[in-house]
Amino acid sequence: MSAAPDPPGGWATGPVTVRAPATSANLGPGFDTLGLALTLYDDVEVAVTGGGLSIEVEGEGAEVADRGERHLIVKVLRRAFELIDGLAGSGRDGLGQPPGLRLRCTNRIPHSRGLGSSSAAIVAGITAARALHPYGKLLDDAGALRLATDIEGHPDNVAPCLAGGLTIAWTTGAGPKLVRLDLDRQVVAFIPDQRLATERARGLLPEAVPHKDAAANAGRAALLIAALTGGLRQDVLLDATEDRLHQDYRAPAMPESAALVARLRVNGVPAVVSGAGPTVLAFATASQVDSIGAEVGNGWHIHPLNVAPHGACVQHDGA
């Protein structure tokens, strides 16, 4: 059997490996707006080949390695290649889709736990496409954010995955935008074994909320930015992470998470549901959590993490 032909000219030679961080969205009151990049990573290697589609998955999501063209990262790569070809315009010869792709994923971000696993996959695919396509630089950071948001549906997780740090994301008539803020601090993620689909968590939200609750969340979100970036006292951060828009409504789908948030907060630990849950995120150090270990209870995987200073990026030799 003869070897598959080399990929056509123009595509980047050799595989591209992208490291994408986990993320935590909402952070309590910042619903669909605030997000953190965290030091827990997926590695995605993509190569253009002479033909066929090969997918290997190690770790989380190994059960979906046989999805072929329906695999999320493959779908993202296809869309990104098509978009970049369109940006190249009629003055250049478009490459279309590559004749073949090889995808290898090493996944460490838990799936369906509120830590942005789908955003990591989306951003990794877009970042890899920009590196592989000869006109990839035509898809700038703003374009990458638009595409990632269009695929994911909301910018709050893809923004920190792209930019790192603490991000504030919003949408205008021209599309999504973000502001990135440096944040050097520890957090602790309490990750349960059970999963919760984001669609189910969103389905529990009401169509309208009381005006006083919306006003309270606006004030708390502003206070949260000041508390995180200004080094304000822990009691201020505890007040700043209070939420009235989504966590209580979602509690029936994750009663253990709601109960853990309540226990931690009673003990003065600023704790929130991470994204759509069921992971709980605490703005505390591992030693602070150890001091109230009895309040945590069983059934939780405790992961001390830092805020990741960088978003998804191509890994080079020695990185």
Does 283 share its domain with 211?
yes
Indicate whether 140 belongs to any domain: yes
Domain assignment present for 1: no
Give me the CATH number covering residue 252. Answer: 3.30.70.890
Is 268 among the domain residues? yes
Query: What's residue 306's pLDDT?
Result: 96
Residue 223, domain extent:
186-306
Q: Same domain, yes or no, for 40 and 174?
A: yes
51 is in an annotated binding site: no
Which 3 state secondary structure label does DSSP give 181? strand
The reply, when asked if residue 175 is annotated as ligand binding, is no
State yes or no: 110 annotated in a binding site.
yes
Buried b vs exposed e over 168-203: b needs ≥16 C-beta within 10 Å?
bbeeeeeebbbebeebeebbbbbbbeeebebeebee
Same domain, 200 and 294: yes
136 lies in the same domain as 194: no
- Do residues 153 and 112 share a domain? yes
Residues 249 and 101 in one domain: no
Tell whether 8 is covered by a domain. no
- Does a structural domain hold residue 137? yes
Query: At 137, is the secondary structure helix, strand, or coil?
Result: helix
Whether 167 is covered by a domain: the verdict is yes
This prediction's pTM: 0.92
Q: Which residues of the chain have pLDDT under 50?
A: 1-8, 318
Q: Are residues 251 and 219 in the same domain?
A: yes
What length is written for the chain? Answer: 319
CA dist., res. 97 & res. 75, Å (int): 12
Q: Helices 72-88 & 117-132, crossing angle to 10 degrees? A: 40
115 annotated ligand-binding residue: yes
Q: Do residues 171 and 233 share a domain?
A: no
Number of domains in the chain: 2
Strand partners, 289: none
In sequence order, the β-bridge partners of residue 25 are: 35
DSSP conformational letter for 259:
H
Ranges of beta strands (E only) in 8-161 are: 16-25, 34-49, 52-59, 100-107
- Pair 159, 204 in one domain: no
**Is residue 11 within 8 Å of residue 134, measured between CB atoms?**
yes
In a domain, 297, yes or no: yes
Q: Is 119 annotated as a binding residue?
A: yes
Q: Is 117 annotated as a binding residue?
A: yes
Q: What pLDDT was estimated at residue 41?
A: 98
pLDDT attached to residue 1: 34
Q: What is the CATH number of the domain that holds 123?
A: 3.30.230.10
- Residue 287 annotated as lining a ligand binding site: no
Same domain (yes/no): 150, 199: no
> What are the beta bridge partners of residue 278?
none
Q: What is the dihedral of CA 301, 243, 231, 292, to 10 degrees?
A: -40
Helix (H) or strand (E) holding 155: helix 155-163
Task: Confirm or deny that 134 is annotated as ligand binding.
Answer: no
The reply to whether 241 falls in a domain is: yes
Other CB atoms within a 10 A radius of the CB of residue 229 amount to: 13
Distance from the first to the final alpha carbon of the chain: 37
Do 202 and 174 belong to one domain? no
**122-140: pLDDT as tens digits:** 999 999 999 999 999 999 9
309 is in an annotated binding site: no
Q: Are residues 164 and 42 in the same domain?
A: yes
| Alpha-carbon 229 to chain mean position | 21
- Interior angle at CA 159, CA 43 and CA 97, nearest 5: 55
